[in-house]
Chain A
Amino acid sequence: MRMTKLLITMAGIVGLALVATSLERRTAGAQQPQTSGGSDRLVVQLCDGETKLEIAEARAGEILPPEKAREVARRMMAAYAEQQAKQVSKWTARDRLTWEREQKRVIEEGYKLFHDWKALGGTIGISCDMCHPDAAATHPETYPKFQTQLKRVAALRDMINWCIENPMKGKPLSPDDPRMIALEAYITSERKGVPLDPGKH
C-alpha cells in the first residue's frame, strides 16, 4: 500500500519535472520575456491547467541545470499537495474536462447522424434535418407524453425510432445504442434551457 503511494508520488515528481523542462524549452524557443505580469521570471503551470507558479530564481527562457529543475518540481509538488489538502470535492478539473469533452463529442456525433440518412440506416434519402432543421419541432422537453397515434405515453426515443422506421424507412435502434444516445444528446442540446414540460401538446 505504502509502496504504491510512494511510487505514484515519484512518478508524479518525474512527470512534473518533465512539464517544467518542456515548459522552459517552449519559453526559450519563443525568446520573449513574459510581459503580461510585468515579470521576466519563469512561470510554470500545474497540471490542473490553471494554477501558475512564478519561480523567482529563474528567468523566463533560462535553461535550468538539473538541481534547479528538481527544485522547481519540488515546489510544484508542494503547491499540488497544498491544493489537495484544501480539496473537498471528489471531482477534479480533469473530471470536469472529461465531462465537457465527452458531452461535446457525443453531441457532435448526434449532429452527424441527424444530418446523414445513410449513417442512421435510412433507405429513401430522408434525414432528420429535412423536417427538423436545428432540431426544430422535436420539442424533447414535452416528453414523455401520450401519443395518440401510438396509443401510449411515449418517450423522445420512441419518436426518434418512429421517424427512423417510417419516414426514413430504416430499422429502429435499441435504446442503449450509442447512436440513440448521440441523437438524444444533440436534440436536447438544441433545446437547452427550455423549461421541462412533460405532457405538453
Chain B
Amino acid sequence: MWPLKWKKREQEYRRQREEFFEAVKRLNRRDFLKVAGLSAAVFTAKTVVPPHSFQVVDVVRAEPQEKPLFRFAYISDTHLYERELNERFVNAALRAVRDVNALNPPPDFVLFGGDLAQLGQPKELELGKQILSELKVPVKMMVGEHDWFLDMGEKWRELFGPENYSFDHKGVHFIVLMSVNEKDFWTERGMTPMERMLTVAQLDNPLQSRFEVGEEGREWLRRDLAKVSKDTPIIIFSHSPLYKYYRPWNFWTEDAEAIHEMLFPFKSVTVIHGHTHQLLTHRIQNIHFHGMLATAWPWPYAPEGLPKLTVPMERPDPFDEADGTGWGSVDVHRDGYVDKHYSLWSRNPITVAKAYLESWGKEAIPPAPEFPPY
C-alpha cells in the first residue's frame, strides 16, 4: 500500500516540477533571445538535469561573459537548537556544509550570514561552530539577533571575535556590520535574559525595538570607510537588510538612511544580508542589495514593502521541508558588483545577475514564479 502511494506522490511531484520548468523556460526564452543571444538550448538542457547535480549555472547576461574576479559562498540562518531537541536544523546545516565543500573549484571563503543559534544558548553556538569547522575554506562570521540577545553577544564574541570588522580581498573591501542592535525594551519591563531572547526570537512580537546599526556602529563604519578610496569596490555583510522593507517583522534597519549617506560617495557598493530567509533584490542608487537563503526554513514574503526589483521565489511547498531553503554563492566582478546565486535545495538554482540590477531590472530578468506569494 505505502510504496504505491509513495510512487504516485512522486509521479505527481515530478509532473509538477516538469510543468514548472516548462513555465520557466517559456518565461525566459523571451528575455533570453532579446537580451542574451545565448542558445536557448543551453538553458533547456540545464533545466532537465535534476537540480541536485548543479553547481552554479552560468548567468544570463546582457553583455558577453566577463569572467568574475572570484567567488565566495554563503550559508545563513541555521537556527540551531541542540541536536537532542531538533535534528532537522542540524542536518540542514550539515547539508549546506557538504554542498559548499563539494564546490569545484572551491570558493575563496564562506560567509556565514547570522542566526547560527535559535535561542543564543552557549551549546547551540558551540554546535554551530563545530559544524562550520567542517568547511574546507575560511569562514567569515556574522552575528544575527538569535545569537545575540540572550547574553548580548558575550558567548558569540568569545567564539568568533568582534561583531564589526573588515578585511580586504583581491581589491575588494569587505565590511561585516552588526546591524541587529535594539534599543533597550527589557529593563523597564523587568525581563530576564531568556525573556528578552524569546521576545526578539519571535519575528511578529511587537514588544521589541527595531533593528539598528546604532550610533557606535555607525561611528565604527565611518572610521573604517575613511581608510578606503572612493573607487575601491565595497561589499558589506549585514544580518538585517540595510534598508526598510517591512517594519513589523524587523525586515528593517532603522538607521538605514544614515548608512546609505555614508555609502553614496563610493563607486560600487554591494550589501549581502541574512535574516529574511528568502530571495530578495533591491537597489538604491549605487548600492545593490541581495538577500540570502536560510538552511532552516523560509520566511513568507511580507504583506507589503517588497522591493520592486525582487522577483520573488515561488511559494515553498510545505510538504517538502527542504523547499525554499538552501545556500548560495556570489561571483564578484572586477567592478565589485556581483552575480548572486541562490542554490535552492528543491528547485533549480536561481541567479540574480549584476546585469539585472545594473539595467534596473530590464535585462537578465530572473525566472518569475508560477505561484507567487498569497
Contact = CB atoms under 8 A, between A and B. Distances in A.
Interface of A: 115, 124-126, 129-134, 136-137, 139, 142, 148-149, 151, 159, 162-163, 166-167, 201
A125 B203 contact: no
A137 B203 CA distance: 14
Contacts of B8: 151
Identify the interface centre among A126, A139, A166: most chain B CB within 10 Å of its CB. Answer: A126
A142 B318 CA distance: 15
Contacts, number: 54
Interface string B9-31: 10010001000000000000000
Contacts of A148: 12, 16
Nearest to A147: B319
Contacts of B298: 131
B86 A124 contact: yes
Contact of B204 (A129, A142, A149): A129
B299 interface: yes
B85 A137 contact: no
Contacts of B9: 149
Interface string B191-216: 00000000000111000000000000
Contacts of A125: 81, 85-86, 118
Prevailing SS type, chain B contact patch: loop
Interface in B71-99: 81, 85-88
Nearest to A200: B374
Contacts of A124: 81, 85-88
A162 B297 CA distance: 17
A192 to B, nearest CB: 13
A133 B321 contact: no
Interface in B302-329: 302-303, 315, 317-319, 321
Interface of B: 8-9, 12, 16, 81, 85-88, 118, 202-204, 248-249, 297-300, 302-303, 315, 317-319, 321, 371, 373-374
B86 A129 contact: no
A141 to B, nearest CB: 9
Interface residues of chain A: helix, strand, loop or mixed (majority):
loop
A59 B340 CA distance: 78
Contacts of A136: 300, 302-303
Nearest to B248: A134
Nearest to A197: B374
B203 A129 contact: yes
Contacts of A132: 300
B12 A133 contact: no
Contacts of B249: 133-134
A136 B16 CA distance: 24
A126 B86 contact: yes
Contacts of A151: 8
A167 B321 CA distance: 8
A131 B85 contact: no
Given A124-B86, A137-B300, A201 B371 contact: yes
Contact of B297 (A131, A149, A159, A166): A131
Contacts of A115: 202
A173 B202 CA distance: 24
B174 to A, nearest CB: 31
Nearest to B203: A133
Contacts of B118: 125
